[in-house]
Structure 1
Amino acid sequence: MGEVSRGARAVVVCPDIRGVSYDLDAEARLEEACGLALAIGIIVVQATIIPVRDVKPNTLFGAGQVDNIQAACALEEAELVIVDGALSPIQQRNLEEKLKLKVIDRTGLILEIFGERAATAEGRLQVELAHLDYQQSRLVRSWTHLERQRGGFGFLGGPGETQIEADRRMIRQRMARLRKELEQVRKTRALHRERRGRAPWPIIALVGYTNAGKSTLFNKMTGADVMAEDLLFATLDPTMRAVRLPGVEKAILSDTVGFISDLPTQLVAAFRATLEEVTAADVIVHVRDISNPSAAAQKSQVLAVLADLGVIDSEDGISTIPIVEAWNKWDLLDSESREELAEIAAGDDMILPISAVTGEGIDTLVTELDTLLTQGAREHHFLLPASAGQKIAWLHAHGQVLSEEEAGSDAEGPLRALHVRLTPKEFGRFESI
């Protein structure tokens, strides 16, 4: 987007519109908006909640409220106003004219972050597509040459298309090209998933609200160096690494983009593909910032997205994939909260208190994941030629060899008897060797 510069001083305003039901309360929404601004390097000089009784079509806020925002901007020497809500193009343009400052809404701010963070080809394509979709509705506001007209073609061409029409046409063409490119990227990803489904290694997907600590946990479990900062949307692209569990030689751990409340429509569509990895997982780890006062509301947001992806049945609420809740940031709780939450966690095998920073509870989490991934394991007896070294080594690497001994010989030579515990997936792979 290139419209918001790092280090810009901003006033953040959170409209609390009467009659609108929000997922989070006004204080939590304001705190989240400030977190989004900090994630892009903006300095928040003032943050305030503004109750809105009647939405003004031209400016959203009333005249007196706009004057108050202007006074706050002048006092704090702000260069930017961030409105934590959706502004129509007209509201945005009118506010900019009245405040004589750049104004961006929640969608514009999140697009800025996405544009800076996206690292893979798919991520960049999705960001550009979402940005163009957002931009084409705002040509009225941001382009100064809109009334110019281009000459018509040929001798009989009329006055020609206006600049705004030409610009919109160019945006539509670019969006069509991007959608084709994205389709190709998705096909490639689907092939990769299919390949992993055949050979593969079980997949553990980390999901959770943004800034819950997924990337810190990912780094702790894999020894990887994924960007893990105390920032909203620190991770935008799915990252995968191999991990070893006690009973599983190799599993794939997948770190995904953080979920967020009221994600703008353009971004829900654009970023859905990055979450498709979750639908191919064998186990989902829902990482929750249990120290956050809005933890319950954040959980419902995450479950709603998983239901939208088809992972959770929207009618009965039952998940098709086992979900482990990792209650992260346990180290930040006071002793009273710990005791209270520990009682709840003790009554549910699928809830595990952890601290990705201190490492507390990580071993228990690994053990639980191992149990879930190997719970379908059965014992098998194999009689193999001693010369089949590759197959015998494979069983040692991928299964739990309970016993191995000489078992006489046949025409081809000595035989070995192996008693091995294997999961159905591993047994299927062994059969295809």
Structure 2
Amino acid sequence: MSALRILARFVSTRTLRIRPILEIPARCKYTQHQGVKGIRNRKSFFEAQIQAGQQGEEDADLERTANSDLADMRFLDDRAYDEVAGGAMRITRDIASSQQVLILQPYVKWAAKRQNAPVDVRPEDQLAEATALIHSLPNWQVARALKVPLESLEKKTLFGSGKLVELKELVAELRQERHLTCLFVSKGTLSFAQKRFLEAEFRLPVMDRYSVVIQILRLHATSAEAKLQVAMAELPYIWAQAKDASVTQTRRQGYALTDLQKEILRTRERKLRAELDRVRRQRQLLRQKRKQQNYPIVAVVGYTNAGKTSLIKALTVEDALQPRNQLFATLDVTAHAGCLPCNLEVIYMDTVGFMSDLPTGLFECFVATLEDAMLADVIVHVQDLSHPCHAAQRSHVEATLRSLAFNVAGGDSTASQLPPIINVYNKCDLVSQEAQSSADPVHHISARAQTGLEPLLDDIEQQILTATGRRKLQMRVPSGGPEMAWLYKNAAVVETTADAENPERLMMHVVISQRTLDQFKRQFCR
């Protein structure tokens, strides 16, 4: 063997040995560009390991971690999965195409047989909400919207024979007039048999509320964390449709998951759970950090489009917040700093809005972010007073909160106690004074007009002081001394006045916790 070949082989082996170390920064940069929370922070971890000179097995572990993270990023954009999801839910990632939708709002004629919908919710209100769902999607237009009375929502054909004939004639008419492209049956979920029967009868794609909501969530999911949770929310529906298809033995009708497709779903679900567990752990670290810094937490919850973000903007005067008049406009739980009348700094948590007639499993996929609301010091429940069904919406949100608290507590009913809840009626500027009268201890406000906020802030302050064990005290300290600087740094100073008895001292009105007060005594009251 020539000396040149020996030298080339020596250089090649040396290059292979250092390749993992040289490529780690590039992989980190690519992963950070994708933007999944929890992966981004590992860049500094990689660099710290390299700077510390820890190689060998640790380098191999980091290499495998980086490769697995890159693979986890790619699975969110999988054409094979999109084909499976499109077949089950009739959704697509291309939302720019125009759609003409016929909305059918089925309802049971006799109130005694209604199981899911509250008795005080009228079919007209349900139809209005279904129309708002379609209007939340760009380029989707409502060709016609009508309510259809039924005897039961569980029939395989869903509609009776006479009603089917009427609807077929309407569909044929709308095909010519409005180029009808889709049929939206405003029911939580349609069984596989119901959907296939209706598609065969009307020769149009049929969507239910779950499918439409998933399409809206896909549109509004901009952060990597939201995309992960939306992707996780799709899987229970696809599995349910596949199970229903196999039970009804409708393999010949065109929808049956192959072994490869089942493996795609299992792999996707496994990776999603791993990523969401990582998000959950990261949020636990953030909560622990906020707890160490002793910041009180106020979670703002409510029905979708009730005005949660608008209220937080009014309370925090944060110009960067841009509320939108859309359903499910907020999918990420975001933190916003605010200040109470006593100068105590708090953090307002903006949360995902709820909606009725949807399986609880859809919102359970957002439990990683909704834990911030369940573990807050105080919950502010925002309700749209101008909505005709605000009472039913309030009941639905309260029931969902109890269910989520039970899940967060791990099924322990004794530990699933909710924080104190402050009820707020928003959009009072859109209703008359008679409609605002209420015997309940509810705050009537308008976040857009910024009215009624002072009593609400006072109530939040009182609840925060009670929940966190803080007290309002008067403390006499030397003027300009270290005690004064320490209180400004570690407590909320409400007011400072001169001491009438001693001009060298000040009277400081502070809001302080017992732990902070004990620290002050140990340091200055010897």
The TM-score normalised by the length of structure 1 is 0.81
Shift of 1:129: 1.3
Aligned position for 1:157: none
Matched to 1:25, the amino acid is R
Contact preservation (8 Å) 2:334, 2:349: yes
Alignment partner of 1:45 out of 143, 158, 163: 143
Matched to 2:92, the amino acid is G
Within 1, Cα distance between the matches of 2:93 and 2:199?
A: 14
Find the structure with the greater CA-based Rg.
Answer: 2
Q: Match of 2:439, SS?
A: helix
Q: Which residues of 2 match residues 338-353 of structure 1 at below 5 A?
A: 338=436, 341=437, 344=439, 348=441, 351-353=442-444
Matched to 1:31, the amino acid is A
Shift of 1:140: 9.0
Aligned position for 1:193: 287
- Deviation string 1:47-84 (CA, Å, 9 cap, x unpaired) is 11212225575432223323333322332332111111
Shift of 1:368: 2.5
Q: Which stretch has the larger CA shift, 113-122 or 178-187?
A: 113-122
Aligned position for 1:295: 390
Q: Which stretch has the larger CA shift, 268-277 or 286-295?
A: 268-277
Aligned position for 1:156: none
Alignment partner of 1:91 out of 184, 191, 194: 194
Q: Match of 1:45, SS?
A: strand
Shift of 1:186: 0.3
Contact preservation (8 Å) 1:381, 1:420: yes
Q: Which stretch has the larger CA shift, 181-190 or 71-80?
A: 71-80
Aligned position for 2:127: 30
Aligned position for 1:2: 92
Shift of 1:405: 6.2
Alignment partner of 1:361 out of 440, 452, 474: 452
Within 2, Cα distance between the matches of 1:117 and 1:49?
A: 28
Within 2, Cα distance between the matches of 1:371 and 1:137?
A: 47
- Deviation string 1:383-412 (CA, Å, 9 cap, x unpaired) is 6793566414325x623355566999xxxx
Instruction: List runs of 5+ in structure 2 lacking aligned partners.
Output: 1-90, 246-250
Shift of 1:378: 3.9
Aligned position for 1:266: 361
Q: Match of 2:355, SS?
A: coil
Contact preservation (8 Å) 2:342, 2:511: no
Task: Provide the aligned C-alpha RMSD in A.
Answer: 3.5
Aligned position for 1:118: 221
Aligned position for 1:205: 299
Within 2, Cα distance between the matches of 1:48 and 1:3?
A: 28
Q: Match of 2:327, SS?
A: coil
What number of residue pairs does the alignment pair up?
401
Contact preservation (8 Å) 1:125, 1:178: yes
Matched to 1:8, the amino acid is Q
Q: Match of 1:291, SS?
A: coil
Within 2, Cα distance between the matches of 1:4 and 1:236?
A: 20
Q: Match of 2:379, SS?
A: strand
Within 2, Cα distance between the matches of 1:319 and 1:165?
A: 44
Contact preservation (8 Å) 2:333, 2:351: yes
Alignment partner of 1:80 out of 182, 203, 207: 182
Q: Which stretch has the larger CA shift, 218-227 or 243-252?
A: 218-227
Matched to 1:219, the amino acid is K
Within 2, Cα distance between the matches of 1:265 and 1:300?
A: 15
Matched to 2:200, the amino acid is E
Matched to 1:27, the amino acid is E
Q: Match of 2:184, SS?
A: strand
Within 1, Cα distance between the matches of 2:266 and 2:301?
A: 33
- Deviation string 1:299-324 (CA, Å, 9 cap, x unpaired) is 111111222233899999x9742222
Q: Match of 2:294, SS?
A: coil
Matched to 1:61, the amino acid is F
- Deviation string 1:92-120 (CA, Å, 9 cap, x unpaired) is 12222221111111111111111111233
Alignment CA distance shift 1:358-1:401 (3 Å): closer
Alignment CA distance shift 1:54-1:330 (3 Å): closer
Matched to 1:38, the amino acid is H
Q: Which residues of 2 match residues 32-431 of structure 1 at below 5 A?
A: 32-41=129-138, 42-54=140-152, 57-76=155-174, 77=178, 78-85=180-187, 86-138=189-241, 164-222=258-316, 223-310=318-405, 320-338=418-436, 341=437, 344=439, 348=441, 351-374=442-465, 376-379=470-473, 381=475, 386-387=481-482, 390-394=485-489, 398-401=492-495, 419-424=508-513, 427=516, 431=520
Within 1, Cα distance between the matches of 2:404 and 2:165?
A: 44
Alignment CA distance shift 1:221-1:163 (3 Å): closer
- Deviation string 1:22-68 (CA, Å, 9 cap, x unpaired) is 12332222221111111123211211121222557543222332333
The TM-score normalised by the length of structure 2 is 0.68
- Deviation string 1:1-28 (CA, Å, 9 cap, x unpaired) is 4267454111111121462321233222
Contact preservation (8 Å) 1:139, 1:164: no
Alignment CA distance shift 1:400-1:264 (3 Å): same
Matched to 2:131, the amino acid is C
Contact preservation (8 Å) 1:216, 1:356: yes
Shift of 1:372: 2.8
Answer 1 or 2: which has greater helix percent: 2
Q: Match of 1:399, SS?
A: strand
Instruction: List runs of 5+ in structure 1 lacking aligned partners.
Output: 148-161, 409-414
Contact preservation (8 Å) 2:276, 2:368: no
Within 1, Cα distance between the matches of 2:461 and 2:350?
A: 18
Within 2, Cα distance between the matches of 1:297 and 1:63?
A: 33
Q: Match of 2:365, SS?
A: helix
Contact preservation (8 Å) 1:227, 1:234: no
Alignment CA distance shift 1:336-1:400 (3 Å): closer
Alignment CA distance shift 1:405-1:84 (3 Å): same
Answer 1 or 2: which has greater strand percent: 1
